Copies of this chain bind each other. A is one copy, B any other.
Amino acid sequence: MNALIVYAHPEPRSFNGAMRDLAVQVLTELGHDVRVSDLYAAGFEAAGGRTDFTDLEDPEAFRYQREQIRASQAGTFAPQLMAEIDAVRWADLLILQFPLWWFSLPGILKGWVDRVFAMGFAYGYGETHSSGPLRGKRAMLAFTTGSPAATYSASGANGDLDRLLFPIQYGILHFVGMDVLPPFVAYGAARIDNNGRTEYLRDYRRRLETVEHAVPLTFDVADTASRSD
Of the listed stretches A73-81, A83-91, A103-111, A198-206, name the one at the interface; the rest are far from the partner chain. A103-111
Instruction: Give the Cβ gap from A174 to chain B, nearest Cβ, in Å.
Output: 10
Known: A154-B222, A166-B159. A49 touches B10 (CB 8 A): yes
Contact B163–A229 (Cβ < 8 Å): yes
Contact B104–A107 (Cβ < 8 Å): no
Q: Is the CB of A7 closer than 8 A to any CB of chain B? A: no
Contact A171–B40 (Cβ < 8 Å): no
Contact A62–B223 (Cβ < 8 Å): no
Q: Is the CB of A210 closer than 8 A to any CB of chain B? A: no
| B contact residues around A222 at 8 Å (CB) | 154-155
Contact A159–B146 (Cβ < 8 Å): no
Instruction: Give the Cβ gap from A52 to chain B, nearest Cβ, in Å.
Output: 9
Of the listed stretches A27-35, A112-120, A133-141, A178-186, name the one at the interface; the rest are far from the partner chain. A112-120
| B contact residues around A102 at 8 Å (CB) | 110, 113-114, 117, 167, 171-172, 175
| Interface residues of A, Cβ cutoff 8 Å to B | 10-11, 13-14, 39-40, 44, 46-50, 61-65, 99, 101-115, 117, 128-129, 146, 154-155, 157-160, 162-164, 166-168, 170-172, 175, 190, 220-225, 227-229
Leading 7 A-B pairs by shortest Cβ distance: A107-B111, A10-B49, A46-B46, A103-B171, A46-B107, A154-B224, A11-B62
